[in-house]
A and B are shown apart, each in its own frame.
Chain A
Amino acid sequence: MKWLATYPERCVGCESCMLTCSKTWFKEENKELSRIKVLQKDSGYEINVCNQCGICIDICPTLALNRDASGVVRCDENKCVGCLMCAGFCPTESMFIADQKDKPFKCIACGICSKECPSQALELMQD
Chain B
Amino acid sequence: MNKMKLLAEWEYEPVKIQRGYAGRTLYVNVGDFSFKEKPVSEDMKEKFIGGRGFGLKLLWDAVKDTTKWNDPENELVISGGPLCGITQYPGSGKCYTVFISPLTEQTYDSNAGGHFGPLLKFSGWDALEIQGKADRDVIVFIDGDNNKVEIYESPFEDVNAFTVTEALHEYFAENEEDKRNISVVSTGKGAENSYWGCLNMSFYDLRRKAPRLKQAGRGGGGTVFRNKKLAAIVVRKRGIGPTSNNPADLSTLQKVGLKLHKEIRDLDDQQNKMRKVGTPHLNEIMNEYHLLPVHNYKFGQHPEADKIHSEVFGKLFTQGIPDGCWHGCSMACAKAVDGFELKTGPLKGKKVTVDGPEYETCAGLGSNIGIFDPEWIIEANFYADHYGIDTISSGTGFAFVCECYELGFLNKDITNGLELKFGSKDDLMELIHRIGRGDDEFARIVGLGVHRMKKIFAEKYGAPFEVMEKIGMEGQGIEVSEYVPKESVAQWGGYFLTLKGPQHDEAWLIFMDRINKQLPTFEDKAEALHYFPNFRLWFSLVGVCKLPWNDIEPADNVIKYKGIEAAKVPEHVQNYVDLFNAVTGKNITKEELIIQSEQVYNFQRVFQLRLGKGTRKDHYIPLRAIGPVFPDEWEARAEYYDNELKATGIDPEGLTTEEKIKKLQEYRLPQWEQLVDAVYKRRGWNKNGIPTIETLERLGIDYPEVVEVVKKHLKPEDEWEE
Q: A residues within 8 Å of B by Cβ?
A: 58-63, 80-85, 87-89, 97, 99, 102-103
Q: Is B66 an interface residue (CB 8 A)?
A: no
B263 to chain A: closest residue by CB? A88
B261→A58 contact, CB < 8 A: no
Q: How far is the CA of A58 from the CA of B254 in the complex (A)?
A: 21
Q: List 29 A-B contacts (CB under 8 A).
A: A58-B320, A58-B321, A58-B322, A59-B330, A60-B322, A62-B180, A62-B327, A81-B240, A82-B87, A82-B88, A82-B243, A82-B254, A83-B88, A83-B257, A83-B327, A84-B88, A84-B257, A85-B322, A85-B328, A87-B258, A88-B257, A88-B258, A88-B261, A88-B262, A88-B264, A88-B265, A89-B330, A97-B254, A102-B241
B207→A84 contact, CB < 8 A: no
A48 CB to nearest chain B CB (Å): 15
Choice from A89, A99, A103 contacting B242 with Cβ under 8 Å: A103
Central interface residue in A80, A84, A87, A99, by most chain B CB within 10 Å: A84
A99→B251 contact, CB < 8 A: yes
Q: How far is the CA of A83 from the CA of B260 in the complex (A)?
A: 12
Query: Inside 8 A of B207's CB, which chain A residues have their CB?
Result: 63
Q: Is B250 an interface residue (CB 8 A)?
A: yes
Q: Is B689 an interface residue (CB 8 A)?
A: no
A-B pairs under 8 A by CB, number: 69
A109 CB to nearest chain B CB (Å): 24
Q: Is B407 an interface residue (CB 8 A)?
A: no
Beyond A59-B330, A99-B251, list 11 extra A-B contacts (CB 8 Å). A81-B240, A81-B327, A82-B87, A82-B254, A83-B88, A84-B254, A84-B328, A85-B261, A85-B328, A88-B264, A102-B241
10 nearest CB pairs, A to B: A88-B261, A82-B242, A83-B328, A102-B242, A83-B87, A61-B322, A99-B251, A81-B87, A81-B327, A83-B327
Choice from A60, A61, A89, A102 contacting B250 with Cβ under 8 Å: A102
Q: Is B493 an interface residue (CB 8 A)?
A: no
Q: B residues within 8 Å of A by Cβ?
A: 87-88, 180, 206-207, 240-243, 250-251, 254, 257-258, 260-262, 264-265, 320-322, 324, 327-330
Q: Given A81-B241, A102-B243, check contact A61 B327 (CB 8 Å).
A: yes
Query: Inside 8 A of A81's CB, which chain B residues have their CB?
Result: 87, 240-242, 327-328
A44 CB to nearest chain B CB (Å): 26
Choice from B240, B261, B322, B324 contacting A84 with Cβ under 8 Å: B261
Q: How far is the CA of A59 from the CA of B242 in the complex (A)?
A: 17
Q: How far is the CA of A76 from the CA of B81 in the complex (A)?
A: 29
Q: How far is the CA of A61 from the CA of B323 in the complex (A)?
A: 8
Q: How far is the CA of A89 from the CA of B329 in the complex (A)?
A: 12
A103 CB to nearest chain B CB (Å): 6
Q: How far is the CA of A63 from the CA of B207 in the complex (A)?
A: 8
B455 CB to nearest chain A CB (Å): 48
B595 CB to nearest chain A CB (Å): 31
Central interface residue in A63, A82, A83, by most chain B CB within 10 Å: A83
Query: Inside 8 A of B88's CB, which chain A residues have their CB?
Result: 82-84
B204 CB to nearest chain A CB (Å): 11
Q: How far is the CA of A58 from the CA of B323 in the complex (A)?
A: 11
Q: How far is the CA of A12 from the CA of B241 in the complex (A)?
A: 39
Q: How far is the CA of A62 from the CA of B177 in the complex (A)?
A: 11
Q: How far is the CA of A50 from the CA of B280 in the complex (A)?
A: 36
B325 to chain A: closest residue by CB? A61
Query: Inside 8 A of A103's CB, which chain B residues have their CB?
Result: 242
Q: Given A61-B328, A89-B265, check contact A82 B258 (CB 8 Å).
A: no
B243 to chain A: closest residue by CB? A102
Q: How far is the CA of A103 from the CA of B330 in the complex (A)?
A: 17
A114 CB to nearest chain B CB (Å): 28
Q: How far is the CA of A35 from the CA of B610 in the complex (A)?
A: 60
B520 CB to nearest chain A CB (Å): 40
B330→A85 contact, CB < 8 A: yes
B320 to chain A: closest residue by CB? A58
Query: Inside 8 A of A97's CB, which chain B residues have their CB?
Result: 254, 258
Query: Inside 8 A of A102's CB, which chain B residues have their CB?
Result: 241-243, 250
Choice from B251, B324, B327, B330 contacting A88 with Cβ under 8 Å: B330
Q: How far is the CA of A63 from the CA of B206 in the complex (A)?
A: 8
Q: How far is the CA of A24 from the CA of B540 in the complex (A)?
A: 45
Choice from A61, A63, A82 contacting B324 with Cβ under 8 Å: A61
Q: How far is the CA of A58 from the CA of B261 in the complex (A)?
A: 15
Central interface residue in B207, B251, B320, B329, by most chain A CB within 10 Å: B251
Query: Inside 8 A of A63's CB, which chain B residues have their CB?
Result: 206-207
Q: How far is the CA of A88 from the CA of B250 in the complex (A)?
A: 17
Q: How far is the CA of A99 from the CA of B261 in the complex (A)?
A: 18
B206→A84 contact, CB < 8 A: no
Query: Inside 8 A of B320's CB, which chain A residues have their CB?
Result: 58
Query: Inside 8 A of B254's CB, which chain A residues have their CB?
Result: 82, 84, 97
Q: How far is the CA of A84 from the CA of B264 in the complex (A)?
A: 13
Q: How far is the CA of A89 from the CA of B207 in the complex (A)?
A: 19
Q: How far is the CA of A62 from the CA of B264 in the complex (A)?
A: 19
A62→B242 contact, CB < 8 A: no
B324 to chain A: closest residue by CB? A61
A84→B243 contact, CB < 8 A: no
Q: How far is the CA of A60 from the CA of B323 in the complex (A)?
A: 10
Query: Inside 8 A of A83's CB, which chain B residues have their CB?
Result: 87-88, 242, 257, 327-328
A59 CB to nearest chain B CB (Å): 6
Query: Inside 8 A of A88's CB, which chain B residues have their CB?
Result: 257-258, 260-262, 264-265, 330
B240 to chain A: closest residue by CB? A81
Query: Inside 8 A of A99's CB, which chain B residues have their CB?
Result: 251
Q: How far is the CA of A63 from the CA of B176 in the complex (A)?
A: 13
Q: How far is the CA of A4 from the CA of B494 in the complex (A)?
A: 56
A95 CB to nearest chain B CB (Å): 10
Q: How far is the CA of A59 from the CA of B261 in the complex (A)?
A: 11
Q: How far is the CA of A118 from the CA of B256 in the complex (A)?
A: 37
A87 to chain B: closest residue by CB? B258
Query: Inside 8 A of B329's CB, which chain A residues have their CB?
Result: 61
A86 to chain B: closest residue by CB? B261
Q: How far is the CA of A85 from the CA of B322 in the complex (A)?
A: 10
B356 CB to nearest chain A CB (Å): 19
Query: Inside 8 A of B251's CB, which chain A residues have their CB?
Result: 99
Query: Inside 8 A of A87's CB, which chain B residues have their CB?
Result: 258, 261
Query: Inside 8 A of B264's CB, which chain A residues have their CB?
Result: 88
A84→B258 contact, CB < 8 A: yes
B261→A89 contact, CB < 8 A: yes
Query: Inside 8 A of A82's CB, which chain B residues have their CB?
Result: 87-88, 241-243, 254
Q: How far is the CA of A83 from the CA of B245 in the complex (A)?
A: 13
Q: How far is the CA of A93 from the CA of B275 in the complex (A)?
A: 20
Query: Inside 8 A of A61's CB, which chain B residues have their CB?
Result: 206, 322, 324, 327-329
Q: How far is the CA of A88 from the CA of B87 in the complex (A)?
A: 13
Query: Inside 8 A of B242's CB, which chain A residues have their CB?
Result: 80-83, 102-103
Q: How far is the CA of A91 from the CA of B206 in the complex (A)?
A: 24
Q: Given A81-B327, A102-B242, check contact A59 B262 (CB 8 Å).
A: no
Q: How far is the CA of A81 from the CA of B180 in the complex (A)?
A: 12
Central interface residue in A59, A61, A87, A97, by most chain B CB within 10 Å: A61
A88 CB to nearest chain B CB (Å): 2
Q: How far is the CA of A82 from the CA of B88 in the complex (A)?
A: 7
